Amino acid sequence: MAAKINSEQDKKGFAAKLKIRSIQFLVLVVVVVIADFVLASIFLPKNAKDAARISRLSNYYNHGFAALVSGEKSYGTLSYPFFTNSLGLADGYCRQVPKLAKNKRRILLMGDSFMEGVGFPFQKTVAGLLQQKMDSTTIEIINAGCSSYSPRLHFLRLKHLLQQDSLRVNEIVCFMDYSDVMDELVYEDFEPKAVSPLNNFKNDFFSWLVGNSMLTSVFFLIRQQAFVSKNNDDPNAQFVYWVKTDNGFLQKAPHFFALRSGWHRSEKEEAVRHGKALALSNAQQLYELAKQQGIKFSIGVYPTPGFYALPAADLRSTYLLWEEFCTQRQLPFINLHRVFFGDTTAQNHKNSIQYFISNDTHWNEAGHQLVADTLYNYLR
């Protein structure tokens, strides 16, 4: 009988200890979580918090922006205000974009970081300048440019805009970047998933944690730096890390980052041939989707500062892929190489300083104005 009593007492004692330890553990968790958020509110820079609110991973088109948000973005030493509209696209302010623009010609601009306009507020980017030059009562410019996009993501983003958002546009001008050929390898294994409230919640919650949790932010930074170090500390690696699906593309192209900035000199390499095939295939899907909707479609290309000293034959090899694509399909081809560069190396060198951010490949204010003026003449 005494043994039974002792056994009951032991059970009660164990249960009491377990309860106390559970409470202690919960208190510890709450303290750590509160401390984590407090530290984030103190030490995380505002632009890092804003970037986390603005950027969004997508199960359908890999990555983009949250809808109807505003904040400060940074690019290098440049900080600038950033707004998105109801479609999750860069805009001059947070606004609702109607599905159908009555009595307006609606032009959709597509591209990567150049068309997004990294480094400058919307009003000073190609899209913003173009809208200012156009009659806003009859023409509407929508900017679907987003950093690190290439033909596959252009296709998926357009498909989402037309089918999920039921957006109606009259014309698409899609700018293909030199880096797109190799970037297609990054997204080759990405498979779009059906849009669902649960997937959207997961992506929103992850972005919220990155901008509000010190532990999550540090963990993300450590993983990013490990990826960059693994790739010979190439600064371009940090831009690929947050949008990559896995490391499979590095197995297909061990010299990925070197090829990304010089693939036209190594066109016999299997990785380059494969990247070109993917780019053409996805561009074809993009074109066919526009054609099915009765949307006028054109492709544009532009140089980077490092191209100014290339011989004419080498320069043409950097965009011949898209020139032939348009010629074969009788599509308008907007070639900005001759707009940025002329016939003499000295003048080209001067232009590379005049139209591009210092020590960078992206357009400065003058570059954006040059492209906007050229597009204005084309679209008129």
Taking residues 23-51, what's their average pLDDT?
89
Burial of 333 (C-beta count, 10 Å sphere; 0-12/13-18/19+): middle
Please give the Cα distance from 116 to 127 (Å, whole number): 8
Give the position of tokens 């949790």. 213
Give the list of residues 6+ apart from residue 35 with CB closer than 8 angstroms, or none. Answer: none
Provide the terminal-to-terminal Cα distance of the chain, rounded to the nearest Å: 100
Q: Write phi, then psi, for 193 (nearest 5 degrees).
A: -115, 160
**Which residue, 183, 126, 192, 181, is CA-closest to 158?**
192
The set of residues, in sequence order, having a beta carbon less than 8 Å from that of 103 and lying 6+ positions away, is: 138
Predicted confidence at residue 269, as pLDDT, reads: 93
Within 8 A by CB and 6+ apart from 155, the residues are 282, 283, 285, 286, 289
Predicted local distance difference test score (pLDDT) of residue 3: 55
In angstroms, the Cα distances linking 228 to 36, 196, 238, 240 are 26, 32, 6, 9
> How does DSSP assign 53-96, residue by residue?
HHEEEETTTEEEE-SS-EEEEEETTEEEEEEE-TTS-EESS---
CA–CA separation, 116 and 362 (whole Å): 11
Q: Which of 143, 180, 181, 172 is nearest to 298 (CA)?
A: 172
pLDDT at 242 over 70: no
* Residue length of the chain: 380
Q: Which fold has domain 83-195+244-379?
A: Rossmann fold (3.40.50)
The CA R_g of the chain, rounded to the nearest whole Å, is: 25
User: Residue 101: which pLDDT band, with cuts at 50, 70 and 90?
Assistant: confident
193 Ramachandran zone, left/alpha/beta (phi>0; psi -120 to 50): beta
Dist. CA 32–CA 30, nearest whole Å: 6
**pLDDT per residue over 76-87, tens digit each?**
899 999 999 999
Tell me the domain boundaries of the chain: 1-43, 83-195+244-379
Which pLDDT does position 253 carry in this prediction?
83
Task: Please give the full DSSP string across 306-364, using - where no structure is assigned.
Answer: GGTTS-HHHHHHTTHHHHHHHHHHT--EEE-HHHH--S-HHHHHHHHHHSB-TTSSSB-
Taking the CA atoms of residue 235, residue 236, residue 237 and residue 242 in that order, the dihedral angle to the nearest 10 degrees is 120
Rounded distance between C-alpha atoms, residue 51 and residue 35, angstroms: 22
Give the model confidence (pLDDT) of 341-368 as tens digits: 887 888 888 999 999 999 999 999 999 9
DSSP E strands, the chain: 55-58, 62-65, 70-75, 78-84, 90-91, 105-110, 139-143, 171-176, 296-301, 333-335
In Å, what is the CA distance from 360 to each residue of 235, 263, 352? 12, 19, 10
Question: pLDDT tens, 270-310?
Answer: 999 999 999 999 999 999 999 999 999 999 999 999 888 88
Averaged confidence pLDDT in the chain: 90
- β-pair type (62-65, 90-91): unpaired
Tokens of 280: 């053409």
pTM of the entire structure? Answer: 0.90
Find, among 155, 91, 87, the residue nearest to 117 by Cα: 91
Position 117 scores a pLDDT of: 98
CA angle 42, 81, 115 (to 5 degrees): 125
pLDDT of residue 282: 98
Classify strands 296-301 and 139-143 as parallel, antiparallel or unpaired. Answer: unpaired
Q: Is the pLDDT of residue 334 over 90?
A: yes
